[in-house]
Amino acid sequence: MGRLFGTDGARGIANTELTCEIAMSIGKAAAMVLIKEEHSKKPTVLIGKDTRLSSDMLEGALTAGLCSVGADVVHLGVVPTPAVAYLVKKHNADAGIMISASHNPFEFNGIKIFNADGYKLPDALEEEIEAIVLDNAEPYPNPVGDKLGRVLAIPEAIDEYINHIASTINGNLSGLNIAVDCSNGSASATAEKLFTKLGANCTFMNCTPNGVNINENCGSTHIEILQKYVKDNKLDGGVAFDGDADRCLAVDENGELIDGDFIIAICAKYLKENGKLKNNTAVGTVMTNMGFNKFCENADINFVATAVGDRYVLENMLKNDYCIGGEQSGHVIFLEYGTTGDGQLSAVQLLNIVNEKNQKLSEVASIIKRYPQVLKNLKVSREKKAEYASDTVIKDKIADVEKQLGNRGRVLVRPSGTEPLIRVMLEGETLDEISNFADEISEVIKERLC
């Protein structure tokens, strides 16, 4: 991880950690780097945002920074992150920027940058931007007169994105009675139009954002709300998105969770059945549940695991020509249709399979069994998080637990790429055993770092 950018953009508490000054500087530096990369005299940059209160403030700062070094800016308004990635390429822009802290609480915000092809910037370009912002590696240009940038708009942008997602299936979703939880975030601007267009009978939940209620007891980070609603109202299922709608989790008609691992398994099997699973491979991460490995063995599908972060999943997919991959958290990439995780695309693909097979969601999901998993998030300062890698006491404790578990489970402890957290994950055959081990490791980490 860099000094500004983590695994999913620059992130922090808005107006203290992620200030207007930093945002303006990122805008300036991004335009400078893009001008060099794209050989463009006057680049065009699209800016989208989620619904949190600070997004307007950061949009203004980014816009000022970009225009001040000669870039034109197109304001997309409130849109999902994957909409920015799609629209950049469709409109031949030089870059896209999404203002969002995804699943984080409303006081956080973030800046994600996409290149002209709709892919997140590689580490090398992020490091260039960091060097300009933090080290004054290059002076900012100060164009004048008609060399300054201006602000534009694409009024039809949201409809273009919705039509794109709808076009990825041949049929429709008519006959399905589902609940859609928009997390009071970006999906509030698109989900109702998309799912209504596809013919589903929907109840839309948490789609009245007020700037501070994004992700608050709703969406994919609080899936229990949707689980209860679907079960109580005897619906066919439900889907939930996070704040910027690049993640999707689902629940079946019994209220049981269908996470990213399940969605990837269901869709990979469907692609294989239809001769469209490229190189017979699905991509996950080191956090992917052991049950997914077993599913792949039974389905004769190859499984590849990457580091945590959808950018690393995508890099592997592009390098090896794979078409589907993602994370348990609900980031799922369908490379035929998009360049990044897309919650609404994932939901449409999953529900289309249910409708086409004329099966219940629980039946479709029965192809994979979830192994018990415990995840603990330990809050640490950014400084202490950096010390984790060199702490031998913690490493020794993890090694001891791994030895005791043997081949009955696994341990994964890692610093979060997006938050001031150390994540402790254990997986195994029995919940009691891995819970006890997770507590033991967590106590050592608390003593050393918290």
Write down which residue in 307, 340, 365 finishes a domain.
365
Same-domain check for residues 118 and 235: no
Average pLDDT (441-449) is: 95
Q: Is the pLDDT of residue 1 over 70?
A: no
Q: Is the pLDDT of residue 63 over 90?
A: yes
Write down which residue in 119, 154, 189 finishes a domain.
154
DSSP 69: T
Choose the weakest-confidence range: 83-87, 291-295, 333-337: 291-295
User: Count of domains in the chain?
Assistant: 3
If pLDDT is split at 50, 70 and 90, which confidence band does 326 have? Answer: very high
Question: pLDDT tens, 388-411?
Answer: 989 999 999 999 999 999 888 899
Question: pLDDT tens, 300-321?
Answer: 999 999 998 888 999 999 999 9
How wide is the angle at C-alpha 187 spanned by C-alphas 315 and 173, nearest 5°? Answer: 90
403 domain residue, yes or no: yes
Same-domain check for residues 192 and 290: yes
* pLDDT for the residue 450: 81
Same-domain check for residues 141 and 199: no
How wide is the angle at C-alpha 217 spanned by C-alphas 211 and 223, nearest 5°? Answer: 125
CB contact at 8 A, 241 and 183: yes
* pLDDT for the residue 141: 87
Give the residue among 172, 229, 174 at the shortest CA–CA distance from 203. Answer: 229
Q: Is the pLDDT of residue 418 over 80?
A: no
Question: Average pLDDT over the chain, rounded to whole?
Answer: 94
Tokens 């992130």 belong to 11
Same-domain check for residues 242 and 108: no
Instruction: Could you list the beta-strand ranges (E) of 278-368.
Output: 281-285, 302-306, 324-326, 332-334
Choose the weakest-confidence range: 113-117, 123-127, 224-228: 123-127
Same-domain check for residues 78 and 199: no
Q: Is the pLDDT of residue 68 over 70?
A: yes
Task: Look up residue 189 and give its amino acid.
Answer: A
What CATH number does the domain containing 280 carry?
3.40.120.10
Same-domain check for residues 282 and 242: yes
Same-domain check for residues 185 and 334: yes
159 domain residue, yes or no: no
What CATH number does the domain containing 439 carry?
3.30.310.50
412 domain residue, yes or no: yes
What gap in Å lies between CA 389 and CA 39, rounded to an integer? Answer: 40
Question: pLDDT tens, 245-285?
Answer: 999 999 999 999 999 999 999 999 999 999 999 999 999 99
Other beta carbons within 10 Å of 356: 12
Choose the weakest-confidence range: 50-54, 231-235, 404-408: 404-408
166 domain residue, yes or no: no
Task: Look up residue 283 and give its amino acid.
Answer: V
Catalytic status, residue 102: yes
Q: What are the phi and psi torsion angles at 250 (to 5°)? A: -130, 165
Q: Is the pLDDT of residue 54 over 70?
A: yes
Average pLDDT (322-335) is: 97
* pLDDT for the residue 37: 59
Same-domain check for residues 135 and 272: no
**Angle between helix 20-38 and 123-135 (nearest 10):** 130
- Mention every residue, 6+ apart, whose C-beta is less than 8 A from residue 72: 42, 43, 44, 45, 149, 150, 151, 152
Question: Which uninterrupted H or E stretch holds 219?
Answer: none
- Mention every residue, 6+ apart, whose C-beta is less than 8 A from residue 334: 168, 267, 323, 324, 342, 345, 346, 349
If pLDDT is split at 50, 70 and 90, which confidence band does 136 have? Answer: confident
What gap in Å lies between CA 385 and CA 405, rounded to an integer? Answer: 26
Total-model pTM: 0.88
Exposure letters 142-176 (e unless 16+ CB within 10 A, then b): eeeeeeebeeeebeebbeebbebbbeebeebbeeb
Question: pLDDT tens, 149-205?
Answer: 999 999 999 999 999 999 999 989 999 999 999 999 999 999 999 999 999 999 999
Same-domain check for residues 181 and 236: yes
What gap in Å lies between CA 381 and CA 394, rounded to an integer? Answer: 17
End-to-end Cα spacing for the chain: 21
Same-domain check for residues 330 and 186: yes
Task: Look up residue 351 and give its amino acid.
Answer: L
Q: Pick the more confident residue, 409 or 296.
A: 296
Same-domain check for residues 259 and 334: yes
Same-domain check for residues 199 and 347: yes
Catalytic-labelled residue, pool 54, 102, 186, 220: 102
User: Can you give the residue range of the structural domain that contains 415?
Assistant: 373-449
Write down which residue in 331, 346, 365 finishes a domain.
365
* pLDDT for the residue 309: 85
Average pLDDT (368-376) is: 92
Q: What are the phi and psi torsion angles at 8 (to 5°)? A: -140, 55
What is the percent of the chain with per-residue pLDDT over 90, rounded to a whole number? 81
Measured in whole angstroms, how far is the alpha carbon of residue 304 from the centre of its chain? 19
* pLDDT for the residue 40: 56
